[in-house]
């Protein structure tokens, strides 16, 4: 793949850049240079920008082209039949996040080029510092990808479309891992500067910028038109509710709403109609439907399951689950009477038996500790604290004890829970624990 753009296109962009520098608006430029712009694809812009950097054009001036890049990108999307997406709709906000990502990727590539063309070590250090700041900003893409992975992909998988989510998640994860590695490496070079190492990092940044931009186009050219064709308003209602909780990379000035009942993936009777297939992008059809799809019809909820708000469990599963936690939990209601406790398979630091059911919480502790327990519970009831933390030793083991207020969704206090957790191995062997850390 060539990394050069024909000279006439570069010269045309230089003309546009001069007009931008003179204060011309993007809309006017699109009218005045319409014929020229029609020959420049969104894919050309990053390459042209890098060539301009090599020719000595100031980064600050070239960054003005990022807005032009986004405008071309938006028009390119409309041609892909994504018109009609309401303002503030989750898909609209994801598209706008991609515009933000595209700008950051542009800036990353430009600052990387500046590092490579620096005339001195001091200039390279300054450019590398700027590169680091852009990389830190771009690292926020995790929030965008989290919404794609957790909100869009489950609906596709329910329809039997598995390959597309797996491939895209793999690419997204690759960009994030590379970006994290770049930031770690920059930190080391800043501590002990080496010009050849700085140039190597700049080339890595150029690669990340290209891959991030490619992901933007994959999402907007393939994924977003597909989900727009497939998802119902009820599905978008559920996505909107959860996405609002997760947050966005862009300011949300308008909020989309619907009267449709939210539909979660497990509630779908998944099928893809022939009409929907016709509306899918050709690339998506070839990737997802070429070998046929088998919708996921698994029923996650059984008749006697408890609805726990975030999922469903049978009574047997609840009991087994509590035993499998490396915690000891004792729950008392607002009358301070013990109603429940767990028995962990991992350890038992505090002795508790069924005879404590109905007992006052403070009476489950030695008399010398009663005033402290009573005060904590009273503080929680009075709203002076949400929880209190204590550290103690039991038989040579280091234990953390949390006393936490238990509240419902309306913030009404239901009781208090005492949580006991053994931290001995973590505190006594921190280096061994660090070796086991897997960065996700």
With the C-alpha atoms ordered 58, 60, 61, 65, is the resulting torsion angle positive or negative? positive
> Which residue is associated with the tokens 């990389």?
135
In residues, how long is the chain? 440
128's CB contacts (< 8 A; 6+ apart) are 115, 186, 189, 190, 198, 201, 202
pLDDT at position 5 is: 53
219 and 330 together in one domain: no
- Check the CA dihedral 109-115-119-123 and report its sign: positive
CATH code of the domain covering residue 377: 3.30.450.20
In whole angstroms, give the CA distance from residue 222 to residue 281.
6
Q: Which two tokens stand for residue 188?
A: 């080391």
Angle in degrees, CA 188, 205, 72, rounded to 5:
150
Q: Check whether residue 264 and residue 340 sit in a common domain.
A: no
Low-confidence residues of the chain, pLDDT below 50?
Answer: 1-2
Q: Find out whether 33 and 12 touch, Cβ atoms under 8 Å.
A: yes
Q: Which two tokens stand for residue 236?
A: 């978008």
d(CA 236, CA 232): 6
Q: Are residues 106 and 199 in the same domain?
A: yes
**Last residue of one domain, picked from the residues 282, 300, 326:** 282
**Position of tokens 């041609």?**
79
Reported in sequence order, the residue ranges of 215-311 that DSSP labels E, i.e. its strands, are 306-307
Q: Which of 235, 260, 282 is the last residue of a domain?
A: 282
Distance CA 42, CA 102 (A): 10
Residues 6+ away with beta carbon under 8 Å from 118: 124, 126, 127
Q: How far apart are the first and last CA of the chain?
A: 32
Question: Exposed (0-12), middle (13-18) or buried (19+): which is 56, by Cβ within 10 Å?
Answer: exposed
Chain centroid offset of residue 43 CA: 25
Helix H or strand E encompassing 37 = helix 34-37
Q: Which structural domain range is residue 343 located in? A: 312-436
pTM: predicted TM-score of the whole model, two decimal places: 0.81
Query: Do 186 and 143 lie in a common domain?
Result: yes
Output the domain CATH number for residue 193.
1.20.120.520
Q: Is residue 305 part of a domain?
A: no
- In terms of domains, do 111 and 193 share one? yes
Is residue 394 a part of any domain in this protein? yes
Residue 339 lies in a domain: yes
Residue 377 lies in a domain: yes
45 located within any domain:
no
H-run or E-run covering 241: helix 233-246
pLDDT of residue 80: 52
Last residue of a domain, one of 282, 299, 326: 282
Concatenated DSSP letters of 398-413: EEEEEEEEEE-TT--E
Tokens of 156: 């596709």
Long-range contacts formed by 261-269: CB under 8 A, 24+ apart:
261/234, 261/237, 262/234, 262/237, 262/238, 263/232, 263/234, 263/235, 263/237, 263/238, 264/238, 265/154, 265/155, 265/157, 265/158, 266/158, 266/298, 266/299, 266/300, 266/301, 268/155, 268/158, 268/159, 268/235
CA dihedral 190, 194, 196, 198 (to 10 degrees): 10
Tell me, yes or no, whether 52 lies in a domain.
no
Token pair in block for residue 86? 């309401």
Instruction: Compute φ and ψ for 297, nearest 5 degrees.
Output: -105, 10
Q: How many helices (H) and strands (E) does the chain have?
A: 20, 7
Q: Name the 3-class secondary structure at 388.
A: strand
- Are 183 and 259 within one domain? yes
Q: Give me the chain's average pLDDT, please.
A: 87
Rg of the chain over Cα atoms, rounded to whole angstroms, equals 28
Note whether 261 and 316 are same-domain residues.
no
Q: What is the pLDDT of residue 218?
A: 84
Query: How many domains, the chain?
Result: 2
């Amino acid at each position: 793949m060539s990394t050069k753009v024909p000279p006439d296109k570069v010269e045309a962009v230089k003309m546009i850049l001069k007009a931008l520098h003179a204060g011309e608006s993007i809309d006017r430029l699109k009218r005045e240079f319409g014929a020229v712009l029609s020959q420049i694809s969104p894919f050309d812009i990053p390459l042209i920008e890098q060539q301009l950097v090599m020719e000595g054009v100031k980064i600050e001036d070239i960054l003005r082209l990022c807005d032009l890049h986004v405008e071309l990108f938006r028009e390119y999307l409309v041609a892909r039949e994504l018109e009609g997406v309401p303002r503030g709709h989750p898909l609209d906000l994801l598209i706008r996040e991609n515009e933000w990502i595209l700008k950051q990727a542009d800036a990353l590539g430009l600052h990387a080029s500046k590092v490579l063309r620096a005339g001195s070590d001091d200039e390279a250090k300054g450019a590398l510092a700027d590169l680091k700041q852009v990389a830190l900003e771009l690292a926020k893409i995790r929030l965008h990808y989290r919404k794609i992975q957790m909100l869009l992909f489950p609906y596709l998988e329910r329809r039997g479309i598995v390959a597309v989510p797996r491939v895209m998640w793999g690419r997204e994860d690759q960009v994030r891992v590379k970006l994290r590695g770049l930031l770690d490496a920059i930190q080391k070079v800043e501590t002990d500067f080496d010009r050849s190492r700085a140039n190597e990092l700049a080339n890595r940044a150029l690669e990340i910028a290209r891959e991030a931009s490619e992901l933007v186009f994959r999402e907007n050219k393939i994924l977003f038109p597909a989900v727009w064709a497939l998802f119902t308003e009820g599905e978008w209602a559920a996505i909107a509710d959860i996405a609002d909780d997760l947050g966005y990379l862009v300011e949300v000035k308008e909020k989309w709403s619907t009267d449709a009942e939210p539909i979660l993936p497990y509630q779908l009777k998944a099928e893809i109609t022939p009409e929907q297939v016709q509306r899918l992008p050709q690339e998506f059809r070839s990737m997802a439907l070429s070998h046929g799809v088998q919708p996921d019809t698994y029923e996650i909820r059984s008749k006697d399951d408890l609805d726990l708000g975030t999922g469903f469990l049978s009574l047997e599963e609840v009991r087994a689950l509590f035993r499998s936690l490396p915690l000891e939990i004792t729950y008392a209601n607002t009358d301070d009477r013990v109603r429940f406790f767990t028995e962990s398979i991992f350890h038992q630091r505090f002795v508790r038996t069924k005879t404590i059911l109905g007992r006052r919480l403070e009476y489950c502790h030695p008399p010398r500790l009663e005033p402290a327990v009573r005060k904590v519970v009273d503080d929680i009831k009075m709203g002076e604290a949400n929880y209190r933390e204590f550290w103690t030793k039991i038989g040579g083991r280091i234990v953390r004890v949390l006393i936490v207020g238990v509240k419902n969704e309306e913030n009404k206090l239901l009781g208090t829970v005492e949580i006991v957790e053994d931290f001995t191995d973590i505190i006594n062997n921190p280096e061994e624990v660090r070796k086991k850390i897997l960065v996700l």
